[in-house]
Each structure stands twice: as C-alpha cells, then as structure tokens.
Amino acid sequence: MATEHNHIKTLIDKLESLPQERLDEVEDFVDFLKQRGRDHQLTRAATQAAEQSFSSIWDNSDDSVYDQL
C-alpha cells in the first residue's frame, strides 16, 4: 500500500510540472483508458450472453463435422 501511495505521489508531482495543455491531454488519455475498460467489459458480457444463445445452434449433429477442423 505504501508503494502504491508513493507511486501516486510521484505521478502527482510529474503532473504538477506539466503545462495546462499537457494536463488536458493527460486527462483525455485517462478518460480514454477508463472508457476502453468499460468497452472491454461490455464486449465480454455480450460474448457470454451470445454463447448461451447460440449454444443450441452450434451444438448439433449436422455441424459436428466442423468440430474436427
């Protein structure tokens, strides 16, 4: 925990040395990272939902030959 706190303090010190226009870029990047994380969560949830929906379609004797590919 102390190491994490030191890391955060170091980042804050670096941020404080940046001009405003660079701070704006950093803020945009942080927002991008947060959104990307939410997008990945949504994609994983959609994939899991689709697997359940399609399992009866994918698991059938007519298409079992494709399981060997």
pLDDT score at 26: 97
Local structure of residue 17 (DSSP, 8 states): T
The model's confidence at residue 55, banded by pLDDT at 50, 70 and 90, is confident
Answer yes or no: is pLDDT of 61 > 80: no
Q: How far apart are CA 67 and CA 60, in angstroms?
A: 10
> Region 49-56: what's the mean pLDDT?
80
57 contacts 65 by C-beta, under 8 angstroms:
no
* Predicted model pTM: 0.57
Tens-place pLDDT, residues 2-52: 789 999 999 999 999 999 999 999 999 999 999 999 999 999 998 888 887
